[in-house]
Structure 1
Amino acid sequence: MGKPSKRQGLSHVAELAGVSLSTVERVLNDRGVVSELKRRKVLTAARALGIRRALPVSFAGPMIVDVLLADSATDHFKRLDAALDRQAQRLGAHLTLRRQTWSERNPQQLLDALRKPRSRRHGMIVVAPDRPDVHEALSLIVQRGIPTVLLTSNLTDVQGTVYIGIDNHAAGRSAGRLMSQWVGQRPGAVLLVVNSLAYFAHQERAKGFIDVMSLRAPDTPVVGPLECFDDEALTQAAVSSALAQHAVAGIYDTGSGTPGIHAALAQAQATPVWIGHEASALHADLLRAGVMSLVLDQDPEGQVQASIDYLLHQQGVIDSPPQLPLAMKIVIDENL
C-alpha cells in the first residue's frame, strides 16, 4: 500500500482533534481566524500523529502563564521565586509569568485565581492543596485545553495535569531508611514533624517514612505526624513538648520547621539524629555544625526550569519535552 496523501493525513488530524478539515488547514497554514482552544486541539493532534512539518504555535504574542504559589516565606518558596525571575529574564518578550500568591489560611484565594483569570492564559503552574474543590477547579481548566503543571505537590485525582517534582513517597522512604540505620540501636522515639497534611507531598513523605520505620526499626516508636504548618512558634512548642515527654533519638521534618526545631533542641540541649528537607544556607550551617544529619533537596530551580520547558513544548514553542521525573538530591556536610 502506498503512503497516505497529504489530505488524508490532515483528515486524520481533523478526526483526532474533533474539528473540520478546513479548520485543520487554517491552523496548519497559520491563516484565518481560529479560536485558541481549537488551535491547541489541532496542534496536539498533529504532533501526536507525527505530522512532519514546522507547526505554528497555538497563540499570537507572548505566552502567558499564570503562576499560583502559596504565600510562604520559607527558603523553598524563596528559591522558587528567584528561579521564576531567572526564567522570565531568560525568555524575555516571549514569556509573561503572571504571578499570584494565595494564603494557606484562605484557600478561597486560590479558587478565585483558578476560576477567574484576569485575561487569557496559555498555561498554568500551581502549588495546590489536596481539596475536592481545588480538584474540580483544576479539572475544568484542563478540560479547556490549558496545559497545567502541579509544582512541588501532586494531585493524583486530577487527570490531564502533569506533576513536576520529586517522588515524595520515595523521599519519605529514603528518610526512613537512613533514620532506621542511625537510631535502630539507640533508645528513644522518632518525631515526625510535617507542614500540613492538606498537601499530598507531606502525606506521601509521612507515609513513606512510617512504612520503612515500621519495617526496619519496629521497636522505635514514631511520634506524629505533628502538623506545625511551618510556623516557628508552633514547631518549637510541639518539639519542646515531645522532648519533655519522650527520650527522642531522631527527628524527621518533612517541611520547613527548622528554626523552631533548632530552638527547641538548643533549649533542651538535645542532639538527636535530624533529617530535614531543602538545601539552604541555614541547613548548610547546621550540617557543618553537626546539628543536622542530612537534608533531602527537591531542586526547586530544576522544577521551575522543567515546568517552563514543559509548557513551551505543549504549546509547540520548543521541540523537546523536559526529562521527568526529577531526581532528589541528598546533601550532607561532606558534599556542601
Structure 2
Amino acid sequence: MDRPTIHDVAREARVSLATVDRVLNERGGVAAKSIEKVHQAVKITGYVRDQFAANLSRGRGYQFVFLLPAGQSSFVRSLIAAIDQESSRHRKDRINIDVRSSKTFDPAAQVAALRRIDPETTDCAAVMVSDVPEVRRELTKLRDAGVRILSLVSDVAPSGRDIYVGADNEVAGRMAGSFMGRFMRNPVGPVLVIAGSLAARDHAQRLLGFRQVIASDFPGLTVLPVTEGFDDASRVAAIAQQAMTDAPLMGIYAIGAGNAGLLRAMRDVNSAFRPVTVLHELTDSARQGLRSDLFDLVIDQDPARAVTRAMSIMRDLADGGTADAGRGDIPLNIFIKENVQ
C-alpha cells in the first residue's frame, strides 16, 4: 500500500493543498474549521509528515551541542573525529553541531558549561558529564526549558536525560573481571584498579561489575583500594609504578583513560612477572600495548558508532519524537594481540 501523501489529506479534508501546507507548517491565515478538517483528515489517512521537508519549508534547521571532557584523551579525540565526519555528512540536512568542552571530572566546570547552552537556540545536547547532584540539576533545568538531553558514553540518572547512548558499563566491568581471572594460571593475590573518577557513572558501573565477578568467581584475588588517575597519563604511570614496586600484582584493571602512562609503567617494570592487564577503549596506546604483549585485553565501544547513533536519535528527539531506551545500546568489542590491527 502506498504511503499517504499531502494530496490524500487535501482530498479527504476537501481543502486546497495550500491550506493543508499552511496548517501542517503552522503558518496561520486558516479558518479554525479548516484547521480541524485537516487534522481530522491526517488521522483518517494515516499521513505522517516528512519532518525534514517541513523544516526546510519553514527555514528551520537543527542545532545540536556536544559537551565533551577537555584534555583531549585519545578516546575523546576519536569522538570528536567521528562528530566532524557526521557533521560533514549531515550539513545538507541543515544540522549545525557545536562541540564544546568542560574540565574533565570537574562538576563546577560542567555546571558552568551547561549554563552556557542557550535553550532558545539549542534543540538537543549530548553530554559526557559527572553523575552528581549539581550537574543533574542543570541538566533538568535544560530539559524543562525544552532542550532534549542525551548522556553519551557515561550515563547520568534518568531525571537528567532523555536517553543514554553507550555501552552497558556494568557488563563491561563483569567482562573485565571474567577475562582477567581466566587469564591467570593461579588467580590468587592482589589486583590494582585505576579509575578516572568514580564520580563518572561509567567508571563506577565498571568497578561494580568487576568486583562482582572477582568476588563470586575468583575469591583468591584481592581488589586493592581503588585509585583515581583522573585520565592523566603521568598520574596513571606513577600509580602503576608505585603499586608494582610495593608488591607483586596479579592484575591491573584500568577503568578510564590515560593509558599511555600505564604503557610506560609496564615497559619500565623491573620484574620477570607481568600482571594480567585489562583496559578499555582501543586507542593507539592500547594497540601498542597489545602488540608488545604488555596488555592482555581491551574492551572497546566503537566511538564512531556511538556518534552516528546519537545523531540519529538527536534528530528524532528534536522533531518531537521519542526514543526507546534500547536504541541507545552500543555493543562491546574484545581485542587481544591476535585480532588488533
For structure 1, which runs of at least 5 residues remain unmatched after alignment?
1-5, 7-24, 34-46
Alignment partners' CA distance in 2, 1:191 and 1:224: 8
Q: Which residue of 1 aligns with 2:95?
A: 95
Listed one character per residue, the Cα deviations across residues 152-177 of structure 1 (whole Å, up to 9, x for unaligned) are 11112425521000000000000001
Once the two structures are superposed, residues 101-132 of structure 1 have per-residue CA deviations (whole angstroms, 9 ceiling, x without a partner) of 11126533322332233551111111110111
Contact kept, 8 Å, 2:181 with 2:187, in 1: the verdict is no
- Which residue number corresponds to residue 315 of structure 2? 312
Give the deviation of 1:262 after TM superposition. 2.1
SS in 2 for 1:221: strand
Letter aligned with residue 54 of structure 1 = R
Which of 295, 299, 319 pairs up with 1:296?
Answer: 299
**145-154 or 58-67, which deviates more:** 58-67
2:150 corresponds in structure 1 to: 149
Q: Does 1:257 align with 2:268?
A: no
- Identity among equivalent positions (%) equals 26
1:82 aligned partner: 81
In 2 relative to 1, CA 103–320 (structure 1 residues): closer, same or farther, beyond 3 Å? closer
When structure 1 is superposed on structure 2, of 145-154 and 114-123 the one drifting more is: 114-123
What's the RMSD between the two structures over aligned residues?
3.1
- Return the letter of the residue paired with 1:203: A
- Contact 1:188-1:246 at 8 Å conserved across structures: no
Structure 1 length normalisation: TM-score? Answer: 0.81
Equivalent-residue separation in structure 1 for 2:139 and 2:320 (angstroms): 23
Q: Which structure 2 segments of 5+ residues have no match? A: 1-8, 10-20, 30-41
Letter paired with 1:114? L
User: 1:205, 1:105 → 2: CA distance?
Assistant: 16
Q: How does 1:1-336 map to 2 (within 5 A)?
A: 28-32=24-28, 52-56=47-51, 60-93=59-92, 94-104=94-104, 106-118=106-118, 120-158=121-159, 160-183=161-184, 185-270=186-271, 271-316=274-319, 323-336=327-340
Which amino acid letter does the alignment assign opposite residue 214 of structure 2?
A: M
Q: CA deviation at 1:327?
A: 0.5
* d(CA) in 2 for partners of 1:106, 1:134: 10
Deviations 1:65-93 (A, max 9, x none): 11111102211000000001001100114
TM-score w.r.t. the length of structure 2 is: 0.80
Q: Does the 8 Å contact 1:135/1:157 carry over to 2?
A: no
- CA change 1:217–1:309 in 2 (3 A) is same
Q: By how many angstroms is 1:318 displaced?
A: 10
Q: Who wins on radius of gyration, i.e. which is larger?
A: 2
Q: SS at 2:155's partner residue? A: coil
- SS of residue in 2 equivalent to 1:229: coil
